[in-house]
Amino acid sequence: MYKKLDDLTGGYYELTARNDETNMLMDIGIHVLEAGESITLHDSVQEMAILPLVAHVKLSWETESAIVQRQDIFTESPYCLHVCKNVKVKLEAIDRSEILVQKTTNDVTFSNKLYTPEDCPNEDLGKGVWENTATRTIRTIFDYETAPYSNLVIGEVISHPGRWSSYPPHHHDQPEVYYYRFNKEQGFGCAMVGPDAYRVENNSFITLPGGLDHPQATAPGYSMYFCWMIRHLENNPWTERIYEEEHKWLLTNL
């Protein structure tokens, strides 16, 4: 499924719901707070990953708090607060803030963690291969390797102008959601999901069912950001990409 959100003028904007027809198994949405506004997030059955996009916000949970500021998702690495079920998190906007929240069911009680830019280094991939046509920057916030107690994976990609991402073509069993932004409002790219292709634009998202490959392309002149969010399946966590057989020859150039 592909959808473009309305302009983010305030309130909550839903991408997916845990029990909706997309079968993504996650509640994902964006809270928009004006300066001085505050909300409290709490879920009795779901863990939460709270990712400030463009924000200046105070986060408070249990006995801890932190002020997070991020103005440019293309040049600044993320902060992300990850909490288990039944933990209340208060968000207090110092300036206008846009905050993405990813949730899913998880019975495990684990230690809450605020990931900082130091925990999420930039990893440049695709340089020096395929004539540099798939150069991109990846920031993995947490995955099964670093947070095996979680049912979630979350990270970010900066896809460079005129380049490809999520490449070579691959799939996995677990459902995934991509949420897009561009460095200019009119920016665009292309998302392929199995045999289908979609024009992706600023503030759009796409749902990726398990089993379908999903390479992405970015239009020349524009940088494309996408937050990638995966839900582990029971007894089948996401740990690796399954490359499409006909394209495995590309791996010999890595």
Domains of the chain: which residue ranges? 9-248
Cα separation of 4 and 252, whole Å? 37
For 76-92, write each residue's pLDDT tens digit.
999 999 999 999 999 99
Cα separation of 84 and 44, whole Å? 9
Here the tokens at position 4 are 């473009």
Structural class in CATH, domain 9-248: mainly beta
pLDDT of residue 199: 98
Residue 254 has pLDDT above 70, yes or no: no
Cα separation of 59 and 40, whole Å? 10
State the CB neighbour count (10 A cutoff) for residue 23: 14
Q: What is the largest CA-CA distance in the chain?
A: 54
Here the tokens at position 231 are 């839900």
Q: Which amino acid is it at 13?
A: Y
Q: Which amino acid is it at 100?
A: L
Residue 187 has pLDDT above 90, yes or no: yes
For 108, phi then psi, to 5°, come to -75, 135
Residue 13 has pLDDT above 70, yes or no: yes
pLDDT of residue 70: 98
pLDDT of residue 251: 93
For 124-180, write each residue's pLDDT tens digit.
999 999 999 999 999 999 999 999 999 999 999 999 999 999 999 999 999 999 999
